[in-house]
Structure 1
């Protein structure tokens, strides 16, 4: 197929695909790191692994699945016209990957939120917290079921939505689909973030711990912002095949990667206090060791000769500090000679001498 005159070489060569792959791998490694640190913290403190730990480990399996789908993204990142010139069915494949990705994304997000809610109920075993946690858990479960059903049955016949059929059919309006998926997700993010605020505000915490808790909430707020950015990218896809679908969907993939990974980090941070204590202890020991070393170096200079200078022109003596021998001659060795039963120490400060006879 020959290229159209309006498709420049730069337009055809444009490809965000490598960036999507790098972003996906980096975000996956970040999530893996923090889940690994969480497991290590539990083992290090000999705390029994709880249900929240098992749930977040399960979430990692779906996160990895989402990363694989992101990497094999059906031409995402390139302009649709360039993709269609190389493979006419690329649009159907891109829609297929997006549908599968939606199910993996929703499952990962639902498990992360469930892990956080279980952790809340474990940390704050209060009736109000349990009622709020269970209520939000039911809402998250219903949201997950709705997303999966929408992804599977978004078109009639079903095969049309999964890129396996070119027959005529009808599909749910993508604007309604994306909004109905993303808005409840954002609302539950805010609700889960606000759920423990009252209990945390009642705790008597040091300034350092208050800063740590504030950092966790700020990171959770960042996840909400990322969810909003992802919704904005989803709404840009409403043009379907008439729009530049495969290029615009790249935005959805990378913001989804960021949202899932940062959400995983937020879920793990409250469990990493043992690691924080260990790092603070190592820092303090290192600082104390340096202070002791500096102190010993300062002590070694006491009694040692600094410099010998004659009096300056004003007649003021230049301070010096020497150990003098028995005959008044300076000696470099501070050790007593063997065989001396008595020790005479002479300390000279400026022009004043004091003799201490043992």
Structure 2
């Protein structure tokens, strides 16, 4: 190892990816807080009853924000984003801080990834009524929890003694290989992601609704793939890092994808609950559109019997359940007016909102 900074090119000494990590973390702090706030605002606006998935999302937000905060702290006091050989000479204390922060980010990461996934699984229980699917949901939740607990315990026991990670007087051979640790908790996490993506699809495609609605509902549940994509990219990064010889530099990429992954799971858990808000915005925009108003006026003189579905006007009453047991399909009671027909497709229960929504 070089003994003075003159051994390194000036560009190598000044090179850092820390500002990029701080910028990404700051964006996700605002995004995570906003998306959870909108989730609860939507619940209250539509007077929807809070479920287990809503309560779980609160600690999920805390740990997701924790990932962002610890990433910023690593840049500020631990030199993450800069080259480790430079820090050994220029700021040895930053190297000690980096090693200590490693413990914190590992424990926070395990919880930040697992808890929003548990919220997603809890939301599945709102719509999966068949016993085999509910049992599968609980099993996947158990695997997610066990993987997180195992990751935390392994991290805490990764060095013997505990201070061997940052104490230069102790042999680093007493610690586990950090990249292999990240890979060990990533692979089971990706496996559970795949299970979670596939689990609700048979139920959705078994509903008595048209194909477009089935595709739309499937898309809602596939939002969880955002987190899985980030997890796969992060796994690739850990395989690229064979050893932490330049640990503070390599840690910037790992920390970036770790916080992106946890935030994507949080956002994926909240987006389906925002569907009423999205529909309200779309309907408002349509009502304000001059084109829709003109079209409505120009078609008012047409014979409704020629195309009755274009003049559908149904007075909606509370929903009533239909279909065999095990299927969450609802359709509205209606009173049709002259020359009008009711919708021919049952509207699926919105798993994340108790307020009625109708699509024709």
TM-score by length of 1: 0.75
Partner of 1:167: 170
Q: Deviations over 1:91-116 (max 9, x none)?
A: 33223212211111111111111101
Residue of structure 1 in register with 2:65 after alignment? 64
Measured on the aligned residues, the alpha-carbon RMSD in Å equals: 2.3
2:140 corresponds to 1:139: no
Instruction: Give the Å deviation of 1:207.
Output: 6.1
1:99 aligns with 2:100: no
1:196 is matched with which residue: 165, 189, 200? Answer: 200
Give the number of equivalent residue pairs: 292
* C-alpha contact (below 8 Å) 1:223/1:262 kept by paired residues: yes
Matches of 2:220 and 2:145, distance apart in 1: 24
Q: Deviation per CA, 1:297-334: give whole Å up to 9, x if none.
A: xxxxxxxxxxxxxxxxxxxxxxxxxxxxxxxxxxxxxx
2:272 is the counterpart of 1:270: yes
1:285 equivalent in alignment to 2:287: yes
CA gap 1:62/1:193 in 2 versus in 1, 3 angstroms: same
Question: Where does residue 158 of structure 1 map in the other structure?
Answer: 162
Gaps of 5+ in 1: 297-358
Deviation, structure 1 residue 294: 10
The residue aligned with 2:123 is 119
Q: State the shift of 1:206 in Å.
A: 5.1
C-alpha separation in 2, matches of 1:208 and 1:26: 34
Residue of structure 2 equivalent to 1:247: 249
d(CA) in 2 for partners of 1:114, 1:92: 34
Residue 51 of structure 1 corresponds to 52
| Structure 2 residue 152 is matched with structure 1 residue 148 | yes
Correspondence for 1:20: 21
Shift of residue 202 of structure 1?
1.6
- The answer as to whether partners of 1:174 and 1:238 remain within 8 angstroms in 2 is no
Q: Could you say if the C-alpha distance between residues 4 and 279 of structure 1 is closer, same or farther in structure 2, counting changes exceeding 3 Å? A: same
Corresponding residue for residue 340 of structure 1: none
C-alpha distance after superposition, 1:28-64 (max 9, x if no partner): 2222222111111111111111111010111111112
Q: CA deviation at 1:125?
A: 2.6
Distance 1:35 1:13 in 2: 38
Q: 1:142 Cα shift?
A: 0.9
Whole-Å separation in 2 of the counterparts to 1:111 and 1:294? 48
What corresponds to 1:258 in structure 2?
A: 260
- Per-residue CA shift, 1:237-270, capped at 9, x if unaligned? 4422xx2111111111111121111111111122
- More contact order relative to length (CA 8 Å, sep ≥ 6): 2
CA distance in 2, matches of 1:239, 1:89: 21
Tell me if 1:40 matches 2:41: yes
Which segment drifts farther, 182-191 or 216-225? 216-225
Q: Which has the larger radius of gyration?
A: 1
Whole-angstrom CA distance in 1 between matches of 2:167 and 2:234 = 27
